Amino acid sequence: MSPTSQPGLLRRFLRWLFSPSAKWSVFALLLLGVVLGFGATVGTQVGVAWSGTNEFCGTACHSHAQFVYPEYQKSAHGHNRTGVHAGCTDCHVPHSYPEKLIYKARAGVRDVIAEFQGTISTKEKFEARRWELANHVWDDMRANNSANCRTCHNPETWDTSKQSEDAVKSHKKFTSGKATCIDCHTGMAHAEPVEPEDAGKADKTKPADDAKAEPKPEAKPAGEEASAAKS
């Protein structure tokens, strides 16, 4: 038996893979492809839907989320007069594909690692990392102009005549692109984390502080500002 007369296992496998099949008709192979594709699509959808329930986020998977859940239930987004509410994923997971799957995959791997390391398994450990976690969320929301908030709150459809003077004035900063929702509205669904003492030197700042730090005259109408400058 010479080595050349018997091709290697890999070579034989490749040849088999690329040669037309005598046993399977093209139709059967296509059908198999369709069935597998359908299964994968439905499986992904079911997985995404199931892993996106408040129960899954708030209790089953993210052990740290159990600390946030009671706060959420007391917030306007979790419990209110009309019962229209926002779930964890409404705010935290991108709504469009493929961003949604990328987010799920990234968060999934990161969360599983964190679960196993137990880095946020107790209330104390969670509180210690809360500021950092919140900053991840703020960074994402500042980067996408608070896209998730805007899926429900569309500034084009809100009735400014029913909003407070303060709100109308502040929202001009959004319309003019000077600030996004999360710059002003933090801690909307659960308690806002407290900035740790040693975070001062880091470049991380609470969005609300940025927005509030703007000098007051900014908010005044142009005419008022001009007259103030004259005097």
User: Which residues here bind ligand HEC, judged by CB under 6 A?
Assistant: 54, 57-58, 64-65, 68-69, 72, 76-77, 80-82, 84, 86, 88, 90-92, 130, 133-134, 137-138, 146, 148-153, 155, 163-164, 166-167, 170-171, 173-174, 179-190, 192-193, 211
DSSP string, 120-171: TSSHHHHHHHHHHHHHHHHHHHHHTTTHHHHHH--TTT--GGGS-HHHHHHH
CB of 50 to ligand HEC, least distance (A): 15
CB of 42 to ligand HEC, least distance (A): 25
208-217 b/e (C-beta count within 10 Å ≥ 16 → b): beebeeeeee
CB nearer to ligand HEC: pick between 34 and 49: 49
CB nearer to ligand HEC: pick between 6 and 59: 59
The overall longest dimension of the chain from CA atoms, in Å, is: 105
CB nearer to ligand HEC: pick between 166 and 198: 166
CB of 88 to ligand HEC, least distance (A): 3
CB nearer to ligand HEC: pick between 173 and 204: 173
118 conformational bin, left if phi > 0, alpha if psi -120 to 50, beta if neither: left
CA angle 88, 90, 93 (to 5 degrees): 85
CB of 44 to ligand HEC, least distance (A): 22
CA dihedral for 14, 16, 19, 24, sign (positive or negative): negative
CB of 10 to ligand HEC, least distance (A): 48
